[in-house]
Structure 1
Amino acid sequence: MSDAGGAARGAGAVLAALPVLGAAAHIVPAGAWLDGPRRALMPSLAGLGDPHHVALTFDDGPDPASTPAFLDALEGLGVRATFFVLGERLARHRALGAEIAARGHELGTHGWTHGRPWWPDPRGEIRGLRRAAHGVREAAGTSAVWYRPPYGVLTGDRLLAARRCGLRPVLWSVWGRDWTADATAASVLHTVGRGLTGGATVLLHDSDRHSAPGCWRATLGALPALVARCRERGWAVGPLGEHGVRPAR
């Protein structure tokens, strides 16, 4: 009886621990959001690549109110970039997504929506990411390679979804804090510049759908000086596909 009782108590303890273990598996990978550990332990996730190249990336589009201005500016600068598009936005503006690709840029996926992953939902994450990746393939004519989760929060569910969909997660090395109401071209350039090195992946936004209204204008205004600074230092500027990010081991 005592052995049976002990086994029952042990089984009960395991069952009681399952929710905790599940929550840990969901949230622990999200620690990659922290810049220091990401750069040191997961350079591929930080987007660290060729030291003679800087990857330029934009999140949250496509947005007919702002994305065309970025496409024109990039064309004028002779630069191509990676656009991490939201599936639900791409479904509404597929022609704009196709134009991004037609003008030589790379489409990555930013998920289906810009939601926060408060609770584990592996099936939902897989379903949404697969749907978003399908939209990229239809708009660009090629399959997406890269996945950047909303807010940069790479939970266990999102990591599993990326693997199931054949996508490579990548976050960033530096950002411009261009989503804030007080962002200016000067502040975006200064913030990016503090950590900008050869091999960096730069996070910016071509839409204010999930940011302060109108803040995209600060990003647009910073682009010429940002590209010029990179070129002055001998760094080419381009999309992630040309960045030489090594696959995660």
Structure 2
Amino acid sequence: MVPPAGNGQNHDAADAYAYDAAAVRAKMSQTAASGEPRVVFLTFDDGVNTTMTPRMLATLKQYGVHATFFVVGNTITPPTAPILRQEFAEGHAIGTHSFDHVYTTLYPGRQGSTAAIVKEAADGVRALQSVLGTGYYPKVWRYPGGHMSWQNLAGADAALRQMNLTWMDWNAAVGDALGAA
């Protein structure tokens, strides 16, 4: 999949507060310099959902906060399409988080499958574009399970760069997806 001419856009309204995904990922691996302002990026995975996503959007709106939603393509359906449009209209970033989110397809034997990852990324982008328009391009991808969880991803990372997608992990979690201790 090739991004639209000009690499597409992922948001007009966010210019005042948006950050480049590659710069954010690089910054996450560095220690903040003394006196450097701290920035928090809220991210939500695995939607779009007709129950929880509207509640999250209402809370974010109440506090004037923006977030990035990493959307699984197969959750985009006629009932969820208006919610996805609302995320975009309210100025939130939207990234792709695969189409099916199936670990055994993406990482057979815990090894990344470049072909499967590229297909899932492309299918996820197409699903987003089916609702947000062909000029929309997410520019950011989150590996299901996180980049840090799998092996042999260099080929997939390079292929994602060719698709103008920057992979983004997280460096803090609330614990809901971390399993029992």
TM-score bucket of the superposed structures, by smaller chain? 0.5 to 0.7
Instruction: Give 2:168's match in structure 1, choosing from 156, 170, 177.
Output: 170
Structure 1 residue 160 displacement after superposition: 3.5
The alignment of Structure 1 onto Structure 2 pairs a total of residues equal to: 141
Q: Which residue does 1:98 correspond to in 2?
A: 85
Mark the CA change 1:61 to 1:166 in structure 2 (over 3 Å): closer, same or farther.
same
TM-superposed deviation, 1:43: 5.4
Structure 2 residue runs of 5 or longer lacking an equivalent are: 1-23
1:107 and 2:94 aligned: yes
**Which amino acid letter does the alignment assign opposite residue 156 of structure 2?**
R
Q: Which has the higher contact order (CA 8 A, sep 6+)?
A: 1
Letter aligned with residue 127 of structure 2? G
After superposition, the CA RMSD in angstroms is 2.8
Q: 1:71 to 1:122 in 2, by over 3 A?
A: same
| Conserved? CA contact 1:45–1:172, under 8 Å | no
Structure 2 SS opposite 1:84: strand
Q: Distance in 2 between matches of 1:115 and 1:51?
A: 38
Deviation at 1:162, TM superposition (A): 1.5
The separation in 2 between residues aligned to 1:113 and 1:62, in whole angstroms, is 13
Q: Return the offset for 1:165.
A: 1.8
C-alpha deviation, 1:85, in angstroms: 0.5
Residue 86 (structure 1) aligns with: 72
Can you give the 5+ residue segments of structure 1 that lack an aligned partner in the other structure?
1-41, 183-249
**8 Å contact kept, 1:126–1:164:** no
Matching residue within 60, 64, 69 for 2:46: 60
* 1:74 to 2:60 alignment: yes
% identical equivalent positions? 26
AA partner of residue 133 (structure 1): V
Shift of 1:180: 6.3
Q: 1:147: how far off? A: 0.8
Q: Which of these two proteins has the greater Rg computed from alpha carbons?
A: 1
User: In 2, Cα distance between the equivalents of 1:113 and 1:163?
Assistant: 21
Structure with more of its chain in helix, by fraction:
1
TM-score w.r.t. the length of structure 1 is: 0.50
